Amino acid sequence: MKTAAFLLTLLLAHDAFPQNQPPSCPLPPGAAASPARPRPTPAALQAVASAASADPSFLISAEPIPNFGIERFRLADYTDCIGSNGCYWADLDAQIRRADEHLTRLAATHKGQPKLALVLDIDETSLSSYCEEKREDYGFVASMFNQWIVSPQASIPIPGTLRLFNHARALGVEVFFLTGRAHEQTEATAKNLETAGYKGWKDLILRQDSEKTTPTTEYKSNARARITAQGYRIILNMGDQWSDLNGPYKAEISVKLPNAYYYLP
């Protein structure tokens, strides 16, 4: 009963998720929220550096690479949509709206043709890992990340992608989820997708044992080849990494979403 109530609360939170603001991060039952960590504003950081530079008693070193801690502050501002660094969620939604326009055009162009397909990546494309990335202080700790993505708390949809998914289904376009997750995560991944609102996809493709060391571009290209071999025309493919999109058997339109968190070659 507690689990059902938690999932209902999560679903209601999804419906209220603004598309230009980060989601509210659900907590496991019994867990307490961590206190907000203060961070300096860009103006305060600049003021410290300027004051030191103007002080003749300071010997300043060359710093050709940005300070990683400061970059984390900038990333936090971007993903929380505060300050002057823009808003990740607004940028994400704007790009998905562009994708939806192409989906509409391509579905009309190929109207009457069977087996049109939309291919979607999952992490940072269909489901958001914002809450876990924030908990990790944007460090992407793989062991923590992999444990979190199979938890019920990871059922957080990216609203624009859910909208695109439903539009594709209404147009008669089949949807394939293609992810780099391991096949051991299939059941939890399917459950989280359904909880997030994705229902009625054609297939969910995860890495099999023989593919776990295959470079992502090759792995995803091979999967798209298998989809094409089934007679499908992939009209649109959307992902947050270049490795989601590059390689043979590209879609007619490949859509690169922003990802400020991590890079997967």
pLDDT at position 39 is 84
Instruction: Compute the distance between CA of residue 209 and CA of residue 251 in angstroms, rounded to an integer.
Output: 26
Q: Minimal CA–CA distance to 223: which of 194, 245, 241, 240?
A: 245
Per-residue model confidence as pLDDT tens digits over 49-88: 899 999 999 999 998 999 999 999 999 999 999 988 899 9
Average pLDDT over residues 115-130: 97
* Edge-first strand listing for the sheet containing 174-182: 203-207, 174-182, 116-120, 233-239, 253-256
Per-residue model confidence as pLDDT tens digits over 11-50: 444 444 556 889 988 876 777 777 777 888 888 988 998 9
CATH node for 87-256: 3.40.50.1000
Per-residue model confidence as pLDDT tens digits over 89-121: 999 999 999 999 999 999 999 999 999 999 999
The torsion of the CA quartet 208, 213, 217, 219, rounded to 10 degrees, works out to: -20
pLDDT interval class at 154 (50, 70, 90): very high
Taking the whole predicted model, whether its pTM rises above 0.85 is answered as yes
Q: Where are the beta strands (DSSP E) in the chain?
A: 116-120, 174-182, 203-207, 233-239, 253-256
Six token digits for residue 35: 């206190």
Query: Residue 1 above 80 pLDDT?
Result: no
Strand 203-207 to 116-120 pairing: unpaired
Query: Residue 5 above 50 pLDDT?
Result: no
Q: Where does the chain hold its CATH 3.40.50.1000 domain(s)?
A: 87-256
The answer for residues whose C-beta is within 8 angstroms of residue 110's C-beta and 6 or more apart is 116, 233, 235
pLDDT at position 197 is 97
